[in-house]
Homo-oligomer: A and B are copies of this chain.
C-alpha cells in the first residue's frame, strides 16, 4: 500500500508541524500575558527557529513527493484527509513563491517595526514609523507579484485572509454600505443628543468588571475547563485546539464598554474554536475558517446578541447589582439605548456598530491605493485626515489618534481589515437564517444561550476548515455572502432606536 505509506509519512510530518506551532503559540501567549521584559531576547530567537523548522518541513522534497502522490490519488482518501492535503498544498504553493531569504528579512523587519510603531504612536511622530512602513509596503507589493493575482495586486493580499476575495467584490460591497449607511448616519448626526451616554462615560469598579466579564463569557457558553480569560494590552483570542482556547480583554476604570463588549467579542471567537468537530480537532482543519467567518462569530455575539435588548433582559439586574452606583436608577431600556449610541469617533476599536464599517472602508481604500502605488506612504497622515473628515465628519487632532492608531500595518497585516466588515455582514446573514429556524429573541429573553451556541456549533463551528468559507455560508444560510442582511439590520435597528 504505497498510498498508505505516503499518508502516514505526511500525517506524521504534519503532527511535527503542529507541535512547532503549539510551541510558538504558547511562547507568543506567554510574551503577551506575562513574560518578563528581557525574556524577549531568547524568545525571539526561539520563535525564529520554530518558524524556520516549519518552513523546512513544508519545503522538504521527500514531504512534497509524498504529498504529490496523495494529491494524484485524492479519491483514495476520506473527506478529511482529502481536504488536509488540498489545504497544505495551497500553503506550500504560497510559501514556495517567496524566496526564503526575502521572507526571513521581512520577518525581521516586522519584528523590528512593531516596537518602532508603538514608539511613534506614543510620541505622535509618524516620521519615525515611515521608513519601516515604506519597506513593509514594498515587500507587500513584491509579495503580491510573487504570489500572483488575476486583476488587482491587492487581491493577492486579500486572499491570505479571505480566500478568493477580490477588489472587485469589495468595491461593490463598500459602495453599497456607503450608499445606504451614510444617509442614516447623517440623519442621526442631526439628532446627536437623542441618546445620552452619561452612564457609559463614568467609572466602573475594575474588580467588578473582571467578575462580570467571567460571568458573561460563561453565560454565552465558554467552557473554562477548556479555556482561559486573561488580560493583555491588545485583546485577542487564540485557539490552541478545542480543549485549550485562550482569550484576553483589557480593563479600564472609565471604559466598562471596552472590557464588556471586548469579552463578548473574544468569546464569540472562542466558542467557535471550542466547538470544532471532535473528528478533526487534532488535524490542521481543527481551527476556525477564514477571517471573515471567524469575525462573523465574534461580531454576532458582540453586537447582534450583546447589544440587543433581549440579551440584557434576564441579566441586566445582575449588572445593576454589580454596579449599583451607576445603574441602580437606570432602566433596562435606557441602558440598552446608551450601549447603542451612534457617534462618529476617531478610534476604530471604540467605534459604534453603525459607523464601524466606515472606519474599515477608509482603511480598505488606503491599503488598495498604497499597494497599487497610487498614493505614497509619506502622504498618509494628510490622506487619512482628509478621508476621516469626508466619511465621518471629524479630523484627528494628531496622528496617534489617526493614521498611527492600528498595529496592523506594523505587523504586515495588509488585506486584513476588510475581514472585519465582511465578518459583520456574514454575522447578519447567519443571524437572519438562525432567526428563521429558532426563536432567537425568546431564547435570549429566557437566558437560553446554550441553544444558540448549539445551533452555531452545528451549522458553522463543527466544520472548522473542512469546508471553504463560501460553503460554510451556503450551509448555514443557503446563500453566498452578501451585504444585504447587514445593511437591512443596521437600518432597521438604528431607525428604530433613533426614531427616524
A29:B27 contact, CB within 8 angstroms: no
With beta carbons under 8 angstroms apart, the residue of B16, B30, B42, B282 that contacts A241 is B42
| Residue of A36, A37, A41 contacting most chain B CB atoms (<10 Å) | A36
Query: A26: CB under 8 A from chain B?
Result: yes
A228:B38 contact, CB within 8 angstroms: no
Instruction: Given A39-B240, A244-B38, check contact A26 B22 (CB 8 Å).
Output: no
> Quick one: which of A56-113 are within 8 Å of B by CB?
none
B230:A34 contact, CB within 8 angstroms: yes
B243:A19 contact, CB within 8 angstroms: no
Interface string of A45-56 (1 = CB under 8 A from B): 110011000000
B19:A50 contact, CB within 8 angstroms: yes
Instruction: Given A16-B49, A30-B29, A34-B230, check contact A243 B23 (CB 8 Å).
Output: no
With beta carbons under 8 angstroms apart, the residue of B46, B230, B246 that contacts A22 is B46
Contacts of A240 in B (CB 8 A): 39, 42
Q: How many residues of A contact B (CB 8 A)?
A: 35
With beta carbons under 8 angstroms apart, the residue of B19, B30, B41, B228 that contacts A46 is B19
Contacts of A7 in B (CB 8 A): none
Query: A484: CB under 8 A from chain B?
Result: no
A49 to B17, CA, bound (A): 11
A39 to B37, CA, bound (A): 26
**Which one of A219-227, A299-307, A427-435 contacts B?**
A219-227
Query: A43: CB under 8 A from chain B?
Result: yes
A228 to B30, CA, bound (A): 12
Contacts of A50 in B (CB 8 A): 19, 23
Query: A438: CB under 8 A from chain B?
Result: no
Query: A394: CB under 8 A from chain B?
Result: no
B244:A42 contact, CB within 8 angstroms: yes
A243:B26 contact, CB within 8 angstroms: no
CB distance from A190 to the nearest CB of B (A): 49
| Residue of A23, A37, A226 contacting most chain B CB atoms (<10 Å) | A23
A244:B23 contact, CB within 8 angstroms: no
Query: A330: CB under 8 A from chain B?
Result: no
Instruction: Given A22-B46, A49-B16, check contact A38 B225 (CB 8 Å).
Output: yes
A226 to B39, CA, bound (A): 6
Interface string of A6-37 (1 = CB under 8 A from B): 00000000011001001100110110001111
A46:B23 contact, CB within 8 angstroms: yes
Instruction: Given A43-B244, A244-B42, check contact A36 B224 (CB 8 Å).
Output: yes
Interface string of A222-259 (1 = CB under 8 A from B): 00111110100000000011011110000000000000
A34 to B231, CA, bound (A): 12
State the copy count for this chain: 2
Instruction: Given A19-B46, A22-B46, A26-B30, check contact A39 B244 (CB 8 Å).
Output: yes
A22 to B49, CA, bound (A): 11
Interface string of A101-143 (1 = CB under 8 A from B): 0000000000000000000000000000000000000000000
Nearest neighbor of A24 in chain B, beta-carbon distance: B23
Contacts of A23 in B (CB 8 A): 23, 26-27, 46, 50
Interface string of A246-276 (1 = CB under 8 A from B): 1000000000000000000000000000000
A69 to B27, CA, bound (A): 36
A460 to B36, CA, bound (A): 24
Contacts of A228 in B (CB 8 A): 34-36
Contacts of A27 in B (CB 8 A): 22-23, 26
A457 to B279, CA, bound (A): 54
CB distance from A294 to the nearest CB of B (A): 20
CB distance from A39 to the nearest CB of B (A): 4
Contacts of A34 in B (CB 8 A): 228, 230
CB distance from A400 to the nearest CB of B (A): 22
Contacts of A19 in B (CB 8 A): 45-46, 49-50
> Quick one: which of A210-225 are within 8 Å of B by CB?
224-225
B30:A226 contact, CB within 8 angstroms: no
Nearest neighbor of A35 in chain B, beta-carbon distance: B244
CB distance from A202 to the nearest CB of B (A): 25
A42 to B240, CA, bound (A): 9
Q: Which 3 pairs, one residue from A and one from B, show the smallest C-beta to C-beta distance?
A: A39-B244, A23-B23, A38-B243
20 CB contacts below 8 A, A to B, read A22-B42, A22-B43, A22-B46, A23-B23, A23-B46, A23-B50, A26-B26, A26-B30, A29-B30, A34-B228, A35-B244, A36-B224, A36-B227, A36-B228, A36-B246, A38-B226, A39-B226, A41-B243, A42-B243, A42-B244
- A residues adjacent to B (C-beta < 8 A): 15-16, 19, 22-23, 26-27, 29-30, 34-39, 41-43, 45-46, 49-50, 224-228, 230, 240-241, 243-246, 282
